[in-house]
Structure 1
């Protein structure tokens, strides 16, 4: 091995060629993802009632999501909404079953079935298959979620692409604000901490004004320890409901939801219900970018312009 490494060095390869790639290791409870030898995230196959990503580490290894309820409450955090578990995908009304809240015996469960594909190296990807079960054990639908890791001008991102497929019966994702692709930001980053946390969308609407609005992206930035960092969620043009509505709150919830029209717009509009016919599918596609500085510092408008050109 040492001799091989020496030969590669002579051929012009450096140690960076080996270190600066993704490594994904399977554990009993899921997968651990490292980049350049440092922890980036973990894919947990079950936390509460669903698979999640936790922790999610950004610039300088700073935590980019809330600790609670996976770990003890962190700085400026509250022990509210225990179903807000770091990074997740669920919905509050699927054929009448609530997969968003975690009420024992009442809510649904998203159950990991298997990893279809796990690829590390430069083109790292996790593909998992999951089923959505009612409290009675009836399977309403299945999903295939693909998480692809990459770099945008040296900044970490992952693309979260999910395909939900109906079985033998129609599946309706109901009109409710409680959904769907969600992140809970660190306590110090939230707007309500009054430490500089800020929400910005593609129209320049900020904080409370960004809630319930359509936008191709939303950025949530603020301090973590002694550094200003941010998380951007971008919605790909090929995604159902693009540009999505946003259930983004000053207390730290950050969710893309194309279904909750009555909550976001008002009752005197067409319902946001979306029905997937038997054997058919719905595709939802997002990019999560982890960056330093403010929205302007990170030039999120340009970052989205690069993302929207990605063929899906």
Structure 2
């Protein structure tokens, strides 16, 4: 009996000694953890990879992969994985999730051609992990082929610690003109706040086969009819690794040209673009109608929320979540 008592006391003592360490380990795994290396910042939510902010090695900064509920990979692997399987290898500038534009003082920052400009990382203003949220705030330079800095930006990527049934983050960008010259964000469909969804989510598959994905806008417009339309939010959902999941992009009411136009395609491109009015209205509006001019030394700010969810837009209550965000 004495031996049993001693053994039990010993085991309880060992457990008591281990519990603080276990608690600390569990606490460290909770929340949003940011880890910086030479060319990227790894973002983990509750101990699991969510995305990486890649700030070197490409013509523009981007976020890849984008991992949704239950470990589902929500964006295309190409071109980050050059030999990716079962994907169209088109539009190499569609790098998972990114912000760029095709006409900034006439310079193309959208494509990755020999004459295109580059959006280059300058410095980090804040990199902060946290139990409830993590923040990456960076400064970037938009550089033309001749080396001239056309404009600069400060962007904030705010990631929230949420249940595994969803992922939620905010993207805010402030584009600033140089002190001595204005910046014209030009009227073109080629832009702007964009992602390229997973291949299986497409509405139309390669070889024009019908896919199982769908696009839904706040106005009720569906699928292929959504391109060039205005809406407060847009949701792109479909099968991912055998489950239905989606990405919703919310346009903030304070943004210029709210509700935004949508450069969203049935082959997987998904973008909010407030500038391309001439293209989106089938040239009913004159060229340049969508231009936004930033005066010297001034700036313009755009805010978006991304809601990555299980199920379709009704099951995920996308409309309700948008209303909560905007406090309507």
Give the TM-score band, short-chain normalised. over 0.9
Q: 1:157, CA displacement in angstroms?
A: 1.0
> Within the alignment, does 1:53 sit opposite 2:63 as a pair?
yes
Q: Distance in 2 between matches of 1:243 and 1:228?
A: 27
**Cα offsets for 1:104-145 (capped at 9, x unmatched):** 2x1001110011100101221000100111100000110000
CA RMSD, Structure 1 to Structure 2 (Å)? 2.1
Q: 2:121 is matched with which residue: 106, 112, 116?
A: 112
SS in 1 for 2:187: coil
47 and 210 in structure 1: CA distance in 2 versus 1, 3 angstrom threshold: farther
> Within the alignment, does 1:192 sit opposite 2:204 as a pair?
yes
Q: TM-score, normalised by structure 1?
A: 0.92
Q: Distance in 1 between matches of 2:236 and 2:116?
A: 29
Q: TM-score, normalised by structure 2?
A: 0.88
Matches within 5 A, 1:77-116: 77-104=87-114, 106-116=115-125
**Cα offsets for 1:64-86 (capped at 9, x unmatched):** 11000000454542010001110
Moved over 6 A (4+): 2-5
Q: 1:19, CA displacement in angstroms?
A: 2.6
Structure 1: stretches of 5+ with no match in the other structure: none
73 and 222 in structure 1: CA distance in 2 versus 1, 3 angstrom threshold: farther
SS in 2 for 1:263: helix
Residue in 1 that maps onto 2:167: 156
Does the CA contact (< 8 Å) of 1:75 and 1:188 recur in 2?
A: no
Residue in 2 that maps onto 1:267: 283
Structure 2: stretches of 5+ with no match in the other structure: 1-14
How many residues align? The count is: 305
Does the CA contact (< 8 Å) of 1:76 and 1:188 recur in 2?
A: no
Q: Distance in 2 between matches of 1:113 and 1:275?
A: 23
Larger Rg: 2
Residue in 2 that maps onto 1:71: 81
Q: 1:17, CA displacement in angstroms?
A: 4.2
> Within the alignment, does 1:308 sit opposite 2:326 as a pair?
yes
> Within the alignment, does 1:180 sit opposite 2:192 as a pair?
yes
Q: 1:267, CA displacement in angstroms?
A: 2.6
Q: 1:269, CA displacement in angstroms?
A: 2.3
201 and 123 in structure 1: CA distance in 2 versus 1, 3 angstrom threshold: same
Matches within 5 A, 1:27-38: 27-38=37-48
